[in-house]
Amino acid sequence: MKFFLDSADLNEIRQAASLGILDGVTTNPSLIRKAGAQDFHEHIRQICESVPGDVSAEVTAVDYEGMLREARTLAAIHERVVVKIPLIPDGIRAIKTLSAEGIRTNCTLCFSATQALVAAKAGATYISPFLGRLDDISSEGTRLISQIVQIYRNYHFQTRVLAASLRHPMHVLEVALLGADVATMPFSVMTQLLKHPLTDIGLDRFLKDWEAYLQSRNPQK
C-alpha cells in the first residue's frame, strides 16, 4: 500500500518525506489556500522536488476546454504531477482526452461506486473516494471502498484506488484491509499511525534499566 500525504504544507511534506515512507502527495484548492501558497505552479513544483512520488494538483475550471488547458499546464510543471479532475460529466470527458495524451489523472470527489466505474472506463490513473465526508453524513465510507476494489478487480481496471478524506488511523486500517492501493492522509494521521503508549512505556523502561546496568558495572561514575 502506498502512503500519500494530503497536504500542501511544505514543512509537513518535508517532515513526512524524511521518514522515508512517503510515496506521494495530494493537494486540493482548500489545502493550497491553507498553506498560503504565493504562486500555485511554483508551489506544486516545490512539492514535487520534496517527495519521490506522484503529486496531485487540481484544476479549477469546470468546463471541458478549461480543464484541458489547466491540466496541460499543470502536467508540464513536473513529470510526476497527476492532474486532479472533478467527477462531473465534463471531467470524465477531460480524463478520457488527457489519458489518450498520456497525461495522468486523479479523478476526485467520488462518492459512489458507479461514479468510480465511469472514471475507470474513462482511463483515470487514480480514483479518489472520500471516506470521511461520507461518514460525516452518516453514510458508510468503507463500504464504498470495498465496492470499488471489487468492481476494479472484476474487470481488471488499471485505475488505482486512492482512499481519501481519511480522518484517523482506523480509516487507514480499514482501507488497508479492504485492499485500497493508496491511502492519502493528513500529517497528524500519518504520525498517529506509528504511535502506541506501550511502545513509549517499554522504551522508557529499557532505557532506565540500561542506565541502572551501566551504573552497577561502574558505580564510581
Nearer to ligand E4P, 50 or 165 (CB): 165
By CB under 6 A, name the one of 152, 165, 182, 183 that touches ligand E4P. 165
Grid cell listed for 28: 486540493
Could you give the string, one character per residue 135-164, with x where binding to ligand E4P holds by CB under 6 A and - elsewhere?
A: -----------------------------x
Which of 2, 34, 84, 195 is labelled catalytic? 84
168 binds ligand E4P (CB under 6 A): no
Chain centre distance of CA 92: 21
Cα separation, 73 vs 90, whole angstroms:
18
By CB under 6 A, name the one of 3, 6, 24, 148 that touches ligand E4P. 6
Is 96 catalytic? The answer is: no
Residues 115-153: b if buried by 16+ CB within 10 A, e if exposed: bbbbbbebbbbbbbbbbeebeeeeeebbebbbbbbebbe
DSSP state of 164: B
- 85 strand-pairing partners: 107
CB of 162 to ligand E4P, least distance (A): 7
Identify residues 95-124 at the interface with ligand E4P (CB under 6 A).
Answer: 108
CA geometry: angle at 44 spanning 126 and 120, to 5°?
A: 10
Query: What does the DSSP assignment read for 22-49?
Result: --EEE--HHHHHHHT-SSHHHHHHHHHH
Nearer to ligand E4P, 30 or 197 (CB): 30
Handedness of CA 113, 145, 22, 26 (dihedral sign): positive
By CB under 6 A, name the one of 29, 53, 66, 132 that touches ligand E4P. 132
- Contacts with ligand E4P by CB under 6 A: the residue count is 11
By CB under 6 A, name the one of 14, 45, 96, 133 that touches ligand E4P. 133
- Report the SS3 class of residue 104: coil
* Other residues' Cβ atoms within 10 Å of the Cβ of residue 195: 9
Nearer to ligand E4P, 84 or 122 (CB): 84
Grid cell listed for 141: 465510507
CB of 164 to ligand E4P, least distance (A): 3
29 binds ligand E4P (CB under 6 A): no
126 binds ligand E4P (CB under 6 A): no
Which residues contact ligand E4P by CB under 6 A?
6, 26, 28, 108, 128, 130, 132-133, 164-165, 184
Catalytic site positions: 84
